[in-house]
Amino acid sequence: MDTIRLKNIKAFEDTGTIELKPITIFVGKNSSGKSSLIRFFPVLAQTFQDDTDVPLSFFGRLIDYGNFEEVVHHSGNTIEFEIPIKYRMNRSYYNIFEYGWAPYFKSEDPEIRKIIREMEFALRKSPLVLNIKLIKHNKKLTVSNLKIFNDEITFVEIKRSTRNQYKIFLKLNDYGFDHSLKTRLDFYRFIPIIIPFNNQLKKKILDSVFNPKNINEMNKKTIAGYFKDKKPLREFSDDHKKIISDIKYSFTLLTLIENLFTIIRRDLEDFSNNMQYIGPFRNNPERVYRDPESNFSEVGTAGENTIMLLRRSQQNRSNTLKNVSNWLYDTMGLKIKIEDIGQNSNLFKVLIYAENADPGDNIKDVGYGISQVLPIVTQLYTLPKIRPHSEHNSKMYIIEQPELHLHPAAQSSLADLFVNKAVSDRRSKFLIETHSEHLIRKLQVLIADPDVKISANDVAIYYIDKNSSDPLCKMDLTEYGQFTKKWPTGFFDESYNLSKKLLKARAKGDIK
């Protein structure tokens, strides 16, 4: 997912298009809307992870986003979001023109062949966007409107008319084709299930084209012969040709649209399966742990599986525990080790120690900073689970307040951690909500350093203020790590203001 746009959601009337870079940072004052924004991604993920029949799951395994009345902006009645469609023409797996009726009509109809060629050109010129509008009707969240479009063309628009009844608008403006049909639609989450070969849908199309005002029963049988007997189109009258073309356009477009929805569903399932959300408050450590009976590949939203992942690493002799311990040593001068309690017990404890200072302290007895950062470091050093049906296995890490309870040097070291991961695995993306000036300053240093393989184009920093005329202010960076414009008040200027106040306070003392 490279962009997202939210409308009428939480604090935001319209976020505008938000670019998602390998490292995307959200900063701002308390209650500025940062968390509302970053937590929409877990909402999307749990929608496709959980066994649910709602189009968007506000309450699920990852997060409680609130009910509809709390989510919709300023007591409105519609929420809206836009996400890109990862359409890749060069991959037959993703090529919407390779399946269904489209290749058949393309092969035998020059006009449809021309249309498809121009649609392919339009797709290459500009990325597709999926726009979704949701309303609450009879206490149930419902899709009210859906549109797939780009700068060149609108493929389809679907509007709700009555309960489970939707109007599908198919348009090919350059060819004078503008067609709509009303039908019952089922949804997989917020993705419509459209099957052009479905008998009900075929009947809807034919009934809408075979309008009794325009065509009698005899003509209907004549036209049906075109599809049944494959008669050459030249044998038909101009009126019949127009009706046949409309039918072919409808079925071709519906095939392309269903193929697009299949791509969207597949990409959203990939996204949800490969997204890791770590919330702002990680669990406190325990004094004693019991050996895990389950396998974990993720630390969990509150870091609840962190120690179990490290224990598995110790037992399997993988590098995760070693790498985590080395990071703690480089950052804080501390190491981590796991010790069994008794010879025949399945109990163990986690110790934190300085080098040459055995036996160390139980993790329960050391500062909260370690327990808060440990899940983040562990997750990044844990090899992601390979999902065989995923197209790209890219990983998105959503992390709130990674700097919690850490001293400034450790906060800046987090920037090294994120950059190293983003550089070593270009499939990884980080969305980070933070208050840490030190983390951002270190990012600037790394961007400016020619020996570090990260550039200003790999980083997006947004200053968020829901009460501003520009609620999401993108703070662009130069190749030398410098910001291209002045920061809004209340963040970087605070240190400078305090320094000035210190000088003034000292001056008062000197005068006395």
In angstroms, rounded to a whole number, what is the distance separating the alpha carbons of residues 54 and 137? 12
Structure confidence by residue, pLDDT tens digits, 369-409? 999 999 999 999 987 655 544 555 678 999 999 999 999 99
pTM (2 d.p.): 0.84
Task: Identify the three-state secondary structure at position 133.
Answer: strand
Helix (H) or strand (E) holding 248: helix 238-273
Do the strands 12-14 and 275-278 form a parallel or antiparallel pair, or are they unpaired?
A: unpaired
Give the angle subtended at the CA of 206 by the CAs of 95 and 246, to the nearest 5°: 60
Residues of the chain with pLDDT under 70: 86-109, 111-112, 171-179, 195-249, 384-393, 490, 493-496, 499-500, 508-512
Radius of gyration of the chain (CA): 28
**Per-residue model confidence as pLDDT tens digits over 414-428:** 999 999 999 988 888
Distance CA 319, CA 316 (A): 9
Distance CA 226, CA 206 (A): 14
- Per-residue burial over 455-478, b = 16 or more CB atoms within 10 Å of its CB, e = otherwise: ebebbbbbbbbbeeeebbbebebe
The Cα–Cα gap between 71 and 472 comes to 18
φ, ψ of residue 309 in degrees (nearest 5)? -65, -40
Neighbours of 380 (CB within 10 A): 24
Specify the residue for token string 């309690």.
Answer: 341
At 119, is the secondary structure helix, strand, or coil?
helix
| Pairing of the two strands 275-278 and 191-193 | unpaired
pLDDT of residue 121: 73
326, 333, 477: which is closest to 23 by C-alpha? 477
CA–CA gap between residue 228 and residue 99 (Å, rounded): 20
Residue 448 DSSP label: H
Beta bridge partner(s), residue 352: 336, 361
| Domain residue limits, the chain | 39-274, 285-383
Six-digit token pair at 270? 């990939």
SS3 42: helix
**pLDDT value at residue 229:** 46
State the CB neighbour count (10 A cutoff) for residue 445.
13
Query: What was the pLDDT predicted at 412?
Result: 94
Whether 263 contacts 94, CB under 8 Å? yes
Q: How many CA atoms lie within 13 A of 281 on its CB side?
A: 2
* Cβ-defined contacts of 323-330 (< 8 Å, 24+): 323/381, 324/374, 324/377, 324/378, 324/381, 327/377, 327/381, 327/413, 327/417, 328/352, 328/370, 328/377, 329/355, 330/413
